[in-house]
Structure 1
Amino acid sequence: MTIVGHILDISAAALGFFIVSCLLKGRLSAAQKLYLSSAVFLLLWLLAVNGMDHMDSMAGLQVLDAITCASSALLIMTILLISLVFTKNLEKVPRYYWLLYILPGITTLIVFTNPLHHLFYRRFSIYVSEVQFGPLFIISGLQYYVYSILVIVIMIRFGCRARVKRVWGQVGLFIGGLLVPFCTNLLATLRILDLPIFATPLAFLVTIFCHGIAVYYLNFLNIKPAALENMAANVAEGYAVLSADSCIIYCNAAFEAIFGEKYKMRTNCYLNRIVEDLEERKKDVIYNLLNFFDVCKQSVNMISYEQAILSEDGKFYYSVELTPILVKHRLAGVMAMFRDVTKIKEEMRRKQQNLSRTMERERLISLGQMIGSISHNLKTPIMAISGDVTLLIDLVREYEESIGDEEVTVEDHLEIAKEMSGWLNRIGECCEYMSDIITTVKGMAANLSNTSEGEFTIEEVLKRVQMFLKGKLVKNGCRLLTDMRLPQGTMIHGDINNMVQVINNLIDNACDAMEKTGGDIELKVYRTQAGICIQVKDQGPGIPADVKEKLFRTMCTTKGTKGTGLGLYSSAEIIRARFGGKIWADDNEDGGTSFFVELPAEDERE
């Protein structure tokens, strides 16, 4: 027993020195504190076992034995707590986790008070053959095995979820260190081997040693590496770490699944060597990565690009982001993160198609509105021309009948000619008005399906809108009042036809809202801090709150069967997509609704 005593003394001294040195290193994380606590419990266990070798008093032996039982129960529970803290990436131990120590605490209390109830030992003796165990001793032993198996299951499950080689190495180290005392204790319990009482605490030295390597060499108990790895996995489907000489020094499972088999991109492979063995159609993926890798190294800035990849399942698009890794202001490598953006691109294409369909439908509706406006605007001059022609026919007949009549003087002929000239001037004015309308309509019709961006003024927009809506304004008893607060000739960049369509929709809706009552529609143009704002204010009944919430998001209308809801929906899309602005509606204090269109300043658009 002298050699064993020396071994226990050396082990206890080494463990004590290790604990003190760890405490002197400064602030510890929650997992590190738990690890040192387990080392303290093992130290108490070793000291108690070593003390039993020199103790002659039966009462003293009982106390030391109680210390060994309590230390083993608290030690295995602390290891369980370490596994929970690590696998859940906890920086602080939740309060309810400390409830796990209730059972080890009860065990400790029972074993120290055994002389009062004899539930742990019915008979205590220094000789194993004379010891009689109580029912709680068996429960305490089962408790050790249950906790150990639970720790192993937790760690294996964590490794399976992580699917990362480095994590599996840490998990293997943690489980391997725990299996040594587990198997030792199992052999002693089943009496397969006749082992002394110091065998199990010495076996736990292997556990502490393995966990110590993980703490100070593999950084197992520092949650930052795992947290950073999980964060990178959440940001990108696949990622790889490249050294400064383009060698893949690490990559996750997702990256290997995408590029490992098809493009030969695996750990410890150089990109410039991989490309030589690839098929011609696959080389562009490596070439692009190498080119942008060089740009990232030279600029020491983050670089992004998009990569298309063909596979048996179709074409996939990846957003590739290269980030330089600096160590002490020196470039150590580059992290390449690959994110699958195929669904995003498809969704954007789908939205663009839906927007195009909506715009096309709105153009057709606008065309119908334009034809209606043309009919209203042309009807009046046509009727005027028709009346003028009838009067001219009467004058021509009168003039023909006066030929040869001696009573008709020269003054009478001049009067008839003057009257005919007046009617002809009126016909000419009506024709000129109709020509202006047709010229404007022709210009808009030619551009209905094309977007032609350029410079235009609000005055040009209002001139066209007034021409189209003149008939409807008169029909509904409305009057358009304009308040221009911009310098004359202020230019706006975009497609004038798109802007005419939007303002036309807003004023047309205001006319419909005031169809029964009539009144003034105010159009105000002014400058704000964000840019240029166009306000269309009506005196209608207003818009219900539930409709206002979805007014520009879905095709809803307050006109019943008379409306489609396309007008405001497409107007909002035009302002957002074509002008980079926004559109909204507010209730007026004196009743009615105001619609606002805000166009950003040129520098913001850029």
Structure 2
Amino acid sequence: MTIVGHILDVSAAVLAFFIVSCFLKGRLSAVQKLYLSSAAFLLVWLMAIIGMEHTKKVGIWQVLDAITCACSALLIMTILMISLIFTKNLVKVPRNYWLLYLLPALSSLIVFTNPLHHLFYRRFSIYASEVRFGPLFIISGLQYYIYSLFVLIIMIRFGLKSRVRRVWGQVGLFIGGLLVPLFTNLLATLKVVNLPISATPLAFLVTIICHGIAVYYFNFLNIKPAALENMVDNISEGYAILSADSCIIYSNTAFEEIFGDKYHMRINSYLNRIVEELEDRKKDVIYNLLNFFDVCKQSVNIISYEQAILCEEGKFYYSVELTPILVKHRLAGVLAMFRDVTKLKEEMRRKQQNLSRAMERERLISLGQMIGSISHNLKTPIMAVSGDVALLEDLVREYKDSIGDQDVTVEDHKEIADEMSGWLQRIKECCAYMSDIITTVKGMAANLSTSSEGEFTIDELIKRVQMFLKGKLGKNGCRLIVSNELPEGNVIHGDINNMVQVINNLIDNACDAMEGRGGEIKLRAFRTEHSICMMVRDQGCGIPNDVKEKLFRSMYTTKGTKGTGLGLYSSAEIIRARFGGKIWVEDNEDGGASFFVELPDEERG
């Protein structure tokens, strides 16, 4: 046997082994199937050449020669199909693409039936000098060069369009593999070199090797499935693909390491059979997967659950997500993704513990704030009661001194009694207000949503505010200017004591801002399109912008040790929670600040 014969035998054997091993791996993409088809066509071509080397019978030679012609035509067409699928990044071959095989199939049929019409060979012989070619031979040869040219153009255009160095290397590998048989055929056709009939298939062996490196080593012809696989790997530690009958048809390495040996969950194994082989303490993992697998199939929706797994290293938690896989609107299987959430659960547990500690600290802080708020809001009525008591003591002394005085008439006694009754009535109102304050604060601590609902007018509100702050205004040399622009009979829905607390806080702060120099404090009530507004305007020094952002936050004050930071905070909470409104502050152009309270006008909606 010649050296060429040995090369043909070895090449055919290696190629056959490669094709079989690739098919046994399974999970072939469209491009991989086409590539292995081209390798199969070359293998048949080589087998036909080997057969021609071992026989001299004209009839057998003619059949084997027809096989080589058919394989050549189908091989180059398959390479063209690979280039189209690759450059268009298609997952599967479109149906209309298969029509490209009509011409090669027809020419192959004509070659096999050549003795009936002599379109391919006018005269066939095993000796090249005696062969006379027909018209179809020329067309078939041109067909080969045209298809090869199309492949080169398609790949070069793709490389120019992508402008990526790595892609150019891949395209160069693909084109270089095709140029070897193309130049070999050109040399044979032009009779530049006298080559044997085995030269072309051996040249195509270089093509198959180059394209094989591209398909299986660089994997650029299978980029979309690889990208999807990498994506699933990134979002889950392990995953498995289950068929509709609960068979594991594929799983990644991470899944096999976690569940493969411990739970017998391997490729081509059925979940309902696996559970029978496992020990009882491990069966719950399979039972849960089976149960949620059935739910996913029936609902055709994504299903998630959590699975705890006991290992020698400890207890691990996995978040399992089952996603239905639909093919032409029919359920083909389920993708099960397992994500390790053990660290996440531990982190959540730590955060929960920290949150509990923080809530306890906040509870203690809130208790202190509430005590400070009660003190802050009871200070004014207590001072008012103290002042009223002092006045009553003066009246009592005056009354005692008047006993037996002939100049003091009955009317004078009545006037003193009426004045005492007035101050007592004011003391009763202050005590009622203090009682309401305590009740309100207690209610806020128990449930912010509860309140004693009612209705009140701005005039009633202003009357109470003036009574409680009369002493503070006089002490600081301030004068309250009231402007009520609301229509007569316009009422506000809510608890009047809550609103008194808010307006008192604002006017009290205005007095503090003007301490030592006095001035006017304006209280204005007016209506906008959909709301009722109240404004407290002072002539103080104003408020810096960085302080404005913090004013209504708990425990923030600009008064140093003289303030608690609770007045504006509690006022903002009352307006928001009790009245559904809002409170804010603006600087005045001529100095000082204006605090606004906006309430929804329910009468206007």
After TM superposition, the score normalised by the length of structure 2 is 0.51
User: 1:316: how far off?
Assistant: 13
Paired residues of 2:180 and 2:206 also in contact (CA < 8 A): no
Report SS of the residue matched to 2:428.
helix
* CA–CA distance in structure 2, aligned partners of residues 534 and 14 of structure 1: 84
Q: Structure 1 residues 426, 554: CA separation in 2 closer, same or farther (over 3 Å shift)?
A: closer
Q: Structure 1 residues 387, 496: CA separation in 2 closer, same or farther (over 3 Å shift)?
A: closer
Paired residues of 1:248 and 1:266 also in contact (CA < 8 A): yes
User: 1:445: how far off?
Assistant: 1.7
User: 1:542: how far off?
Assistant: 0.6
- Greater radius of gyration (CA): 2
Deviations 1:94-118 (A, max 9, x none): xxxxxxxxxxxxxxxxxxxxxxxxx
User: 1:437: how far off?
Assistant: 0.8
User: 1:319: how far off?
Assistant: 11
User: 1:431: how far off?
Assistant: 0.9
Q: What does residue 542 of structure 1 align with?
A: 542
User: 1:427: how far off?
Assistant: 0.9
Structure 1 segment 74-223 matched on structure 2, within 5 A: 202-210=208-216, 219-221=224-226, 223=227
After TM superposition, the score normalised by the length of structure 1 is 0.51
- Select the residue among 397, 401, 409 that pairs with 2:404: 397
Q: Does 1:588 align with 2:588?
A: yes
Q: What does residue 425 of structure 1 align with?
A: 418
* CA–CA distance in structure 2, aligned partners of residues 316 and 465 of structure 1: 64
Q: Structure 1 residues 483, 451: CA separation in 2 closer, same or farther (over 3 Å shift)?
A: farther
Q: Structure 1 residues 507, 581: CA separation in 2 closer, same or farther (over 3 Å shift)?
A: same
Report SS of the residue matched to 1:219.
helix
The two structures, once aligned, show a CA RMSD in angstroms of: 6.3
User: 1:34: how far off?
Assistant: 6.7
Q: What does residue 361 of structure 1 align with?
A: 368
User: 1:556: how far off?
Assistant: 4.1
- Select the residue among 374, 378, 384 that pairs with 1:377: 384
Amino acid across the alignment from 1:546: D
Report SS of the residue matched to 2:522.
strand
Q: Structure 1 residues 518, 343: CA separation in 2 closer, same or farther (over 3 Å shift)?
A: farther
Deviations 1:20-45 (A, max 9, x none): 34446779997999769725533323
Report SS of the residue matched to 1:490.
strand
* CA–CA distance in structure 2, aligned partners of residues 559 and 324 of structure 1: 64
Q: Structure 1 residues 517, 34: CA separation in 2 closer, same or farther (over 3 Å shift)?
A: same
User: 1:584: how far off?
Assistant: 3.1
User: 1:479: how far off?
Assistant: 0.7
Q: What does residue 490 of structure 2 align with?
A: 488
Q: Structure 1 residues 424, 484: CA separation in 2 closer, same or farther (over 3 Å shift)?
A: same
* CA–CA distance in structure 1, aligned partners of residues 475 and 587 of structure 2: 25
- Select the residue among 18, 27, 32 that pairs with 2:82: 18
* CA–CA distance in structure 2, aligned partners of residues 488 and 353 of structure 1: 44
Deviations 1:466-489 (A, max 9, x none): 554332233221315254648733
Report SS of the residue matched to 2:441.
coil
* CA–CA distance in structure 2, aligned partners of residues 430 and 211 of structure 1: 100
Deviations 1:463-522 (A, max 9, x none): 665554332233221315254648733324xx8766655444333222211222321232
Report SS of the residue matched to 2:224.
coil
Q: What does residue 438 of structure 1 align with?
A: 431
Report SS of the residue matched to 2:170.
helix
Report SS of the residue matched to 2:525.
strand
Structure 1 unaligned blocks of 5 or more: 62-195, 403-411
Q: Structure 1 residues 256, 16: CA separation in 2 closer, same or farther (over 3 Å shift)?
A: closer
Matched residue count? 434
Amino acid across the alignment from 1:445: I
* CA–CA distance in structure 2, aligned partners of residues 306 and 496 of structure 1: 53
User: 1:426: how far off?
Assistant: 1.3
Q: What does residue 120 of structure 2 align with?
A: none
Structure 1 segment 158-307 matched on structure 2, within 5 A: 202-210=208-216, 219-221=224-226, 223=227, 226=230
Paired residues of 2:240 and 2:251 also in contact (CA < 8 A): yes
